[in-house]
Structure 1
Amino acid sequence: MRILLVFLLPALVAACATTRRGAPSLDELLAPPEGPAVTQWTGDFESLREHIRTLARQAVEQSKRGKNDAAQDKIDEARRLILTFQGTERQREQLAEEYELLLTLLDELIEPEKRPASEAISLILTTPEATAQDLADVEAARSIPSIQRYVSRLSPAAQKRIARQLAVFTRTDRGRELFQRYLDRSAAYRDTISRLLAGRNLPAELFCVALIESGFSEIAVSRTGAAGMWQFMPATGRAYGLDQDRWVDERLDWIKATDAAARYFRDSLQTFDGDIELAVASYNTGPGNVKKAIRKAGGTSDFWRLKLHPETMDYVPKWIAAMIIYYNPKHYGFTVPPDDPPRFDDITIRGSLPLASIAGAIGEHPEGINNLNRALIRKATPPDRPWNVHLPAGSRDKLVANLDRLLQSSSVVWLAHRMKKGETVAQVAGRYGVGVEQLMAVNDSLADHLPDEGEVIMVPVGADNTKALADFQERQREEEVLATLEPGPGAPAAPPPPASRRAAPKKIVHTVRSRDNLWSIAQDYDVSVDDLKRWNQGQIGPGNRIRPGQKLNINLGEAPDQPAPVRYTVMRGDTLGEIAKRFGVATADLAAANGLGAGATIYPGAVLQIPGKGRPLAPEAKTHQVQRGENITRIAADNGVSVAALMAANQLTDPTSLQAGQILTIPAPGEKTAAPPSGKPYTVKTGDTLAKLAKRFGVTVKELAAANKLSTKSPLKAGQKLTIPAGKGKDIWIQYKVRPGDTLTSIADHFNCTVGDLEKWNRIRRGAPLAVGQSLKVQVKK
């Protein structure tokens, strides 16, 4: 067994004025909200296997009667019995096989909506042949303005492809049931998705891509590891800024994922010269495959003449078929409910809190908070970064009133436990004094399979559980995984072991399961996908495909290329000054490394980087959704960054171009950001002239003309494509409205100018007071 890390997680144990029966216990906070108590099997092994099979048969019968909740209860009972069984190693291997069969049954009976739409349908039905009526419906769709362009001038073969997909949703009972379910779900998301698409000048019809990807399910996960409403693969999600680590998976945050999808489509449309069919095809198969197909087809950009993977050749027709129904639902007997967007408050929490304790503080059920914050895969805010938590509308003030009490209350220590050969979940739970239900609640991987040797599961331990913590520290010493840090007096660490005594990497062979993908395997073993590929060269197929039964090599304990960053988990009673003294660093340096003020309050559970020790951590960035009435100066001021840094982080050249619903990346204080692009595309609108555009974008007419190989007197035509140059450092004048607490000094700091500059630009007398709402002119470097 290897213990990898410790994080503190504050928990609610004191009575809370907003709850009716006092604070929930630690077990209540970490256990699932519903479900019977766990009891261990007292009979022999064969009778246990027969009982599990009986429960599975009963689940099938309940499902046939339409009682999915009862079926779920039967399968959950079987899962608990398997997880708590402590027999021989051979018996546990046999139970692991039963577990796989049980989870396959669960997929087919109860959880098709947890899969993307295409997989949910494929589990139940096959694609029917198109009828004459289906073909007539495709032809008739030319009269629908929103989709006329997609169905005009189609070949008979293309019409047939669309008609077949139309038949799936309209002429099969299961297809109709699923499509209506997707339409019902869409009511919660339509308004926000439409605004985010419009904010990036994208076609509204891309809304239906989410319909065919996931059926608007926030929790959909494909067999290949794509996740969330927009079904991002791990690498693509990271490329578009969606964090995925031990604590969060932002692919499951539908708002952030929608913005990432919008940026993907923006880039793809630019790549394929505005051809939306090719952009949609690339969303399914990747732009590289589309480009290759275009080359093989002699350079044609007509999607219908390309030879792509069969799945992709059906993907665009499926999208068009979904649009035909969506924009004409009554014709097919469907109903589209009115918009019902979720209403929620936001609060930023620095330090780790379980969502269940937040729910208790505001008098809400934990499930409601969990559903608003699906990206938090441990059902807790991450301990190593500030996190924006969604709360039920109207509850923010109630949480603020209790937040200090929550953050200062008794804590839970998170241990990363690496499973030993033959070790069971029940044994781990018993060793640390926690319940199996608690481990199931905070480790989603236990819902997929029994853990193998070398896999990591997270264990929440009460801060007052001195026996478990002492055992943990002793195991750290035995396994020689203490940090190579030599702190000052009183620091809870031991000297590093001699290099000659370091254990060699341990090699493990992992057998791929039916639900596995490279991302999930990497998460289970706390390694990277790149490492898995390196260790298994030649065994992993295109698109990172692996097959059940395949053997993969995993090397645990391999030395990293760079020293790991040194982190410290804040304990109750700690201050910045004391921690700085303990590790021999300056308080100001410690504060700056973690984005804090020198006198900031820190809470148990917060994880700090110790500057100058190990590999520096990358500064954390967060996002902000632009609200109606906001401008770039206000957003920059609210987040403690300069306008120039904010513009650079978002590749903006025009500070007045923000739109409500747009998602901005907020750089961490002091983070170096890339300069804005050398030019950006612009489509000429009626009435545009070179002079007007030059003034709007802060460049000279000469610069604009030169960037587009035009003369300074060239006329422009609507629809003409231009490149807007970034200019040569020319300044931009913006207006800033004074807010409560502002001073000339604080405003000057935000905009990287001097107080004298502000006084000169606005003809302010030295020492004159500012008035809230007063408008100031500010000069910003591009």
Structure 2
Amino acid sequence: MAPKILQSFDLELDFLGEQDEQRAAIESSAQYFLKRFENSYTFIPIIRNMIAQEGLPQEFLFVAMVESEFIINAQSSKRASGIWQFMPNTAKSLGLEINDYIDERKDLIKSTRAALGYLKFLYEQTGQQWYLAVMAYNCGYGRLLKAIEQADGDTSLNTLLDEEKQYLPPETRNYIRKIVAMSLVFNDADFLKNNNLEYLLNRGATDTLATLKLKSGVPLGLVANSIGLSLNELKKYNMHFKYAFLPPGPADKEYNVYIPYEKLSLFRQNFDTNYKPNSAFILHKVQKGETLTSISRQYKTTINELKRVNGLKNSFLSINQKLVIPILKT
């Protein structure tokens, strides 16, 4: 198994000897990482399936594990977000939408499609060497090129990971090691058997979520009610929406809403697909001197409705605070 995993990253067998320390560290924290796998039961088969469809090595699942531990709404101090930890500009360049209402870095399927496409692009840019593509994903293609230039054009991993020369940042040097080590550990039948988790080896690449195409303004609560889920449970699969409704926009604009696959028949039975929202939503940025009273009068709504929609416990507002305003359609 180990030679196959190294081959997946275009690495030589001698790299295996360098993995002992990283592998030992992962195995010593085995229960933590195994818990992350357990908590991501819904998402991992989808990612596996998409990786297979794109023709990438299955070991690239562990890029997401190292980036975010499969936490859909993971957020870094550097403003990277989502399971694949995209920076805002990179995400937008890959076609992901980020605005006041939605952040598609937290959309499992769209962000995964973007990440796999980006990795394939980096693979071509780096001379079809997966280990170079993975490192470029972490530190940026420009930074990798600078490191190769400083190494006099040497792209071998042993050179680029040189701890003394430090051609690459420490984070990137550890990044590739950690991904390979995780691939080795979580494909080790003996290790999984000793932890009573052999079934992870056989977990299929199947879809566990169904994708609904719904129009702007639809409240997520209606979808939740139609399939017998709480709103909070539904939002766990749909963290790309910042509010409990689909973003406002043109009547023909559609958004992806994800539900457990086994709930699809209930949705088809209970949800009115011709539903048209009787209200639209806009964002209002609080200005100096404004109160809930003045804002409710401005938009012909009530203070209680503003509190309900925005989850406010009291009437205190701060300048530049964003409020969701329901606007009744006539």
TM-score by length of 2: 0.80
Measured in 1, the distance between the counterparts of 2:70 and 2:53 equals: 20
The secondary structure found in structure 1 opposite 2:85 is: coil
CA RMSD, Structure 1 to Structure 2 (Å):
3.0
Task: Give 5+ residue unaligned stretches, structure 1.
Answer: 1-142, 442-449, 464-570, 573-782
1:397 to partner: Cα distance = 1.8
Q: 1:312 to 1:425 in 2, by over 3 A?
A: farther
Q: 1:267 to 1:371 in 2, by over 3 A?
A: same
2:133 is matched with 279
1:322 to partner: Cα distance = 0.7
Q: 1:236 to 1:425 in 2, by over 3 A?
A: farther
Measured in 1, the distance between the counterparts of 2:65 and 2:142 equals: 24
User: In the TM superposition, what are the counterparts of 1:664-683 in structure 2 within 5 Å?
Assistant: none
1:146 is matched with 4
2:164 is matched with none
Q: 1:312 aligns with which of 156, 160, 172?
A: 172
1:260 to partner: Cα distance = 0.7
1:209–1:319 contact (8 Å) kept in structure 2: yes
2:66–2:179 contact (8 Å) kept in structure 1: yes
Measured in 2, the distance between the counterparts of 1:278 and 1:390 equals: 34
Question: Aligned pair 1:211/2:86, yes or no?
Answer: no
User: In the TM superposition, what are the counterparts of 1:702-717 in structure 2 within 5 Å?
Assistant: none
1:303 to partner: Cα distance = 2.5
Measured in 2, the distance between the counterparts of 1:319 and 1:247 equals: 33
The secondary structure found in structure 1 opposite 2:176 is: helix
1:277 to partner: Cα distance = 1.2
Question: Aligned pair 1:417/2:274, yes or no?
Answer: no
1:203 to partner: Cα distance = 1.9
1:237 to partner: Cα distance = 0.9
1:417–1:459 contact (8 Å) kept in structure 2: no
Q: Which amino acid in structure 1 is aligned with residue 288 of structure 2?
A: K
Q: 1:311 to 1:452 in 2, by over 3 A?
A: farther
2:284–2:325 contact (8 Å) kept in structure 1: no
Larger Rg computed on CA atoms: 1
The secondary structure found in structure 2 opposite 1:327 is: coil
Q: 1:190 to 1:390 in 2, by over 3 A?
A: closer
Q: Percent identity?
A: 24
Measured in 2, the distance between the counterparts of 1:193 and 1:360 equals: 27
Q: 1:369 aligns with which of 221, 234, 237?
A: 234
User: In the TM superposition, what are the counterparts of 1:317-332 in structure 2 within 5 Å?
Assistant: 317-328=177-188, 330-331=190-191
The secondary structure found in structure 1 opposite 2:78 is: coil
1:347–1:388 contact (8 Å) kept in structure 2: yes
Task: Give 5+ residue unaligned stretches, structure 2.
Answer: 161-166
Q: 1:296 to 1:346 in 2, by over 3 A?
A: closer
Deviations 1:518-541 (A, max 9, x none): xxxxxxxxxxxxxxxxxxxxxxxx
User: In the TM superposition, what are the counterparts of 1:153-552 in structure 2 within 5 Å?
Assistant: 153-154=14-15, 159=18, 162-171=19-28, 175-306=29-160, 307-328=167-188, 330-331=190-191, 333-334=194-195, 335=197, 337=200, 338-339=202-203, 341=206, 343-384=208-249, 385-391=253-259, 392-400=263-271, 402-404=272-274, 406-407=275-276, 410-411=278-279, 413-420=281-288, 432-434=303-305, 436=307, 438-440=309-311, 453=319, 455-461=320-326, 463=328
1:362–1:398 contact (8 Å) kept in structure 2: no
Q: 1:330 to 1:353 in 2, by over 3 A?
A: same
Q: Which amino acid in structure 2 is aligned with residue 234 of structure 1?
A: P
Measured in 2, the distance between the counterparts of 1:356 and 1:213 equals: 31
Q: How many residues align?
A: 303
Measured in 1, the distance between the counterparts of 2:172 and 2:222 equals: 45
1:436 to partner: Cα distance = 4.4
User: Which is helix-richer, 1 or 2?
Assistant: 2
1:239 to partner: Cα distance = 1.2
Q: 1:197 to 1:345 in 2, by over 3 A?
A: closer
Show structure 1 runs of 4+ deviating over 6 A.
Answer: 423-431
1:241 to partner: Cα distance = 1.1
1:412–1:462 contact (8 Å) kept in structure 2: yes
Q: 1:440 to 1:296 in 2, by over 3 A?
A: farther
- Higher relative contact order (Cα pairs below 8 Å, separated by 6+ residues): 2
Q: Which amino acid in structure 1 is aligned with residue 266 of structure 2?
A: S
Q: 1:310 to 1:427 in 2, by over 3 A?
A: farther
Measured in 2, the distance between the counterparts of 1:413 and 1:398 equals: 27
1:343 to partner: Cα distance = 3.7
1:462 to partner: Cα distance = 6.2
